[in-house]
Amino acid sequence: MSTEEQLTFNGINGSTGDYFQSPLTPEQVSKVVKGEKFDQTHLDELEEKNRKDSHFAPMEGIDPKNIAETGWGVIFAHGADPAIREALSELLVHRQKQATQKKEHYYQEYTGVKAYRPGESKNKFLSRHKVSPGPADPDKMPYYLLIVGDPETIPYSFQYQLDVQYAVGRIYFDSLDEYAQYARNVVEAETGKRFLSRRAAFFGVRNQDDMATQLSADQLIQPLADLMAQDQPDWQVQHFLEENATKAQLGQLLGGPETPSLLFTASHGLAFGHGDSRQLPHQGALLCQDWPGLRQWKEPIPISR
């Protein structure tokens, strides 16, 4: 089977310069998938969502861009440190004011007995809160939900299951100060205390002889940039693809003079084996267009700031 017929997953081994996970054929991926048990209800929902004539959004007649109509909620893990909620209080108060303009219960905090419980699936979580599958009904649960916690405490599986029906985000920081700073930045940006230009940048690496980044550049970055330019005409939308997606350019976009209000990137990330001293400080570092691809580069990836 040719390289083009293999599936390559994100991640380059920083120690070797090779893929962190070996490319697999569709047959090999199929065997892996068949060995994992999936919730049939979740699979049915995914099939429904992928039908051309169906999409999951709030109930008909609800403006998805208006929090006063969609509602907003935050999900904590059972037993989470109350200090995290306190650190986020500035943002929570702000969202509560936005979401409760029409109905008080359009703002919800899933904490204490209402919080996510260990091992809980989306269906069990919804059932416990007396919510049925289908388009989000803010009278029962807000459409916008923010998960607070690491993926070990609240698994990614719960998040992507919930995301079939709701608009879900997640934050996780190492310190209370970082939670508080995040909350403050969001509130200041939305209330005009901090001016952010309406500029978005889409950064898409397209490495040579690398199917993963070629697909993400052509079928993710470019279409998203085009879609936002059409949907948000008052925003300046830029895209940096192939030779323009260099490390130097990324430095200009990440805290440099060209920093936009919104930055969306797609590239390989660096990965290191268990016990490698570089894993903690450099795991997930973005590999830019400077990497010439596996055929031309067969050595460790140099690390520099």
Identity of the residue numbered 136 = A
Q: Give the model's confidence band at 41: pLDDT under 50 very low, under 70 low, under 90 confident, else very high.
A: low
- Over residues 293-305, mean pLDDT: 83
Identity of the residue numbered 296 = Q
- Over residues 67-92, mean pLDDT: 97
CATH (domain of 100)? 3.40.50
190, 216, 235 — which closes off a domain?
190
Residue 137 shares a structural domain with residue 214: no
Within a domain: residue 155?
Answer: yes
190, 211, 243 — which closes off a domain?
190
Residue 166 shares a structural domain with residue 208: no
Instruction: Pick the range with the lowest mean pLDDT from 9-13, 110-114, 271-275.
Output: 9-13
Within a domain: residue 218?
Answer: yes
More confident residue, 294 or 196: 294
More confident residue, 263 or 274: 263
Instruction: Pick the range with the lowest mean pLDDT from 55-59, 110-114, 209-213, 247-251.
Output: 55-59
Compute the Cα dihedral for 47, 135, 200, 305 and give only its sign: negative
The pLDDT tens digits of the residues spanning 123-171 come to 999 999 999 877 899 999 999 999 999 999 999 999 999 998 899 999 9
Dist. CA 211–CA 5, nearest whole Å: 10
pLDDT given for residue 49 in this prediction: 56
Report whether pLDDT(267) > 50. yes
Residue 112 shares a structural domain with residue 139: yes
Dist. CA 127–CA 133, nearest whole Å: 9
Q: Under the phi-then-psi rule, with left for phi > 0, alpha for psi from -120 to 50, and beta for the rest, what region is 194?
A: beta
190, 212, 244 — which closes off a domain?
190
State the DSSP string of 77-131.
Answer: BTT--HHHHHHTHHHHHHHHHHHTTT-GGGEEEE-GGGSB-TT--HHHHHHHTT-
Q: Provide the residue range defining the domain that includes 74.
A: 67-190
Q: How many domains does the chain have?
A: 2
Report whether pLDDT(19) > 90. no
Q: Write the CB contacts of 40 (distance below 8 Å, at least 6 apart in sequence).
A: none
Residue 179 shares a structural domain with residue 73: yes
